[in-house]
Structure 1
Amino acid sequence: MAGEDGMQLAYYIVLLVVIGGAMLFELSGRGGQALRQLVLWVVIFAGAIFAADLWLDGGGPRQQVMQGGRIEIPVGRDGHFHLTAELNGVDVRFIVDTGASTIALGPEDARRIGIEPDDLAYVGRAMTANGEVQTAPVTIDEFAIGDIVDRNVRAWVIGGDLDGSLLGMSYLRTFARVSFENDLLILER
């Protein structure tokens, strides 16, 4: 993630240079009206890209995995705690849900980690905010958050329209400490 953060920082620096240059150009009074309008449209376009990036990415701080098995997860704009874990080598973003009893994978996330939802036996049922859904038990070979790696983790694939995945109590109980400190969720092994 450090490389990704560096690229994002470089992007914002370039964006700042473009916007700052456009403002200096406009204030200097040089250039024809057509050129000024072109620069204005470039600034508008760059601002729209910046806003879309913030909107799609969440725009806020991300989880931090500290030494010693400590994970700090800041609250998102939507009021939920979002945790990204690597399942079978693929990044999956979860909503941490203390009201969920287990790990619940949405069909798309299941596919991404190598589990085909159409081939599963949906033998269970679960109550969700949207009503009752069918569930299929699965085992995730590797569940990693930074240096914390768990193997053969039990989960359920939801047979419905679950967008994303939920990280429930069955996994949260593997931590020695789960606490809330202001706008942070702290997990410690």
Structure 2
Amino acid sequence: MSHPELPHTIKLLTIWLLVGLVVFLGFKAWEREREASRFKLAGQSIVLMRADDGHFHWPGRVGDIEVDFLVDTGATSTALPQALAERAGLKPLGAVRTHTAAGAVHGFAARADISLQGGVSADRLAVTVLPNLGAPLLGMDVLGRLHFSQKPGELRIEPKE
């Protein structure tokens, strides 16, 4: 008994879909590896490498939610996007008005458990929650507890003695 042949175009389409899938998965693996290489532990030191966007990113968590904090030495306090705060179940403690590069913004204050790769954490940290913030910002309320130094393309963070 002979099996009917698949049409030539279906064979070609299947091959191209498989090639596309392999390329896509390879790109995603390369992207993950690149992101992981921006964070290193060197003894007691945490080393962050500058990302393509020009910022230093520090992987961490707000409660149980994984986040990628932008290190912002110009921010007095840590700020979170409202959507992230809602996913983390943060409760508003009161309204706040803050000044950003975009002008005055209204949001609310909350408390959050922040943990960062490398063993740095801040429990029940007072944070500012803003409705249109693009990414979580790690401010001096956390960074000020640490010693940090910068070289071109590298931010080295160590515990204060």
Q: TM-score of the superposition, structure 2-length normalised?
A: 0.76
4+ runs deviating over 3 angstroms: 33-38, 48-55, 57-60, 141-146
- Structure 2 CA distance for partners of 1:143 and 1:48, relative to 1, 3 Å: closer
One of 121, 125, 128 as aligned partner of 2:100: 128
Structure 2 residue aligned with 1:63: 39
Give, in whole Å, the separation in 2 of the partners of 1:41 and 1:170: 49
The answer for unaligned runs of 5 or more in structure 1 is: 1-32
- Per the alignment, residue 86 of structure 1 pairs with 61
Q: 1:109-156, CA deviations, whole angstroms, 9 ceiling, x for partnerless residues? A: 21232204xx4421x221222221113222224534332333232211
1:166 aligns with 2:141: no
Aligned match for 1:151, one of 123, 127, 144: 123
Q: CA-atom RMSD, angstroms?
A: 2.8
Identity, in percent, stands at 25
**Higher helix fraction (1 or 2):** 1
Task: State the alpha-carbon separation in 2 of the partners of residues 139 and 128 from structure 1.
Answer: 20
Which of the residues 10, 15, 31 maps onto 1:39? 15
Query: Which structure: greater strand fraction?
Result: 2
Q: Secondary structure at the match of 1:157?
A: strand
Using the size of structure 1 for normalisation, the TM-score is 0.66
Partner amino acid, structure 2, of 1:38: T
1:88, CA displacement in angstroms? 2.4
Is the Cα–Cα contact under 8 Å of residues 58 and 68 in structure 2 kept in the other structure? yes
**Whole-angstrom distance in 2 between the partners of 1:153 and 1:145:** 17
Q: Distance in 1 between matches of 2:79 and 2:30?
A: 27
